[in-house]
Amino acid sequence: MHDKIALVTGAAGGIGAAVVKALAGQGALVAALDRDAGRLADEVAGLTAEGLRVLAVPADVTRRDEVEAAVDVVERRNGPIDYLVNAAGVLRLADAARLSDDDWSATFAVNTTGVFVVSRAVVNRMVPRGRGAIVTVASNAAETPRQGMAAYAASKAAATMFTKCLGLEVAGHGIRCNLVAPGSTDTPMLHGMWPDEHARRATIDGRLDAYRVGIPLRKLASPEDVANAVVFLLSDRAGHITMHALTVDGGAALGV
């Protein structure tokens, strides 16, 4: 991946930040995109201090104008984007019948429309070049029902099928589109779901009352676990893999 150019959304923290560091560690120049300009600047400053090549690109994935401008700036200043990672995501918790219109709209705006807007901006530049790889960070919740997560699960299911359809359409241009589907990962998003100090153990052990089986590997995923899967799918080692969803959940979805 030396001297390849990558664009990663949701780059200011969690899985997105881990992906940025992993790609930069492989020698890529990484454009780190996030709407939180302050957190993004701090994250990028830390990585550049380690000698990694990372650029801060503040933008909101739900805004077509900001995304198109960001992609244009990255390519004009640095060259063609080789890799795209859609890692931006939000979570709004509520039972399906109690979800507000705002919760539903905000979740789909980032998790689904954001994937569409950024992927479209990048893939339209990749097609004439006849190369490129895209990975969308989805979720095992896209195929496994979870209480209180209807909006999140539905948005990730939509992003999953969008990415697979895109992969089918651009395969003839030498562009691969894949997904990584994490389960419970040790990030601020997961911590925000926990009501008390016992929630970590309950996540690992499972909860019969919520129809959750727990995690067979007996541990949460780290952001680096997910980032490693992303890097693999972008790399030449996955050169004949496209339209595939790689689940990284410690067995929580029982391989289904």
CATH number of the domain that residue 90 is part of: 3.40.50.720
Burial letters 107-144, b for 16+ CB under 10 A, else e: bbbbbbbbbbbbbebbbebbbeeeebbbbbbbbbbbbb
**Is 253 contained in some domain?**
no
Name the pLDDT band for 128 (thresholds 50, 70, 90). Answer: very high
152 is catalytic: yes
pLDDT of residue 86: 98
**Is 208 contained in some domain?**
no
Tell me: the pLDDT tens digits for 68-112? 999 999 999 999 999 999 999 999 999 999 999 999 999 999 999
Q: Which of 89, 152, 226, 230 is catalytic?
A: 152
Number of structural domains the chain divides into: 1
The reported pTM is: 0.95
**Is 92 contained in some domain?**
yes
Check pLDDT > 90 for residue 49: yes
**Is 118 contained in some domain?**
yes
- Give the domain extent around 244: 5-186+222-248
Contacts of 134 (CB under 8 A, 6+ apart): 83, 84, 85, 86, 119, 122, 123, 163, 166, 167, 175, 176, 177, 178
Check pLDDT > 90 for residue 192: no
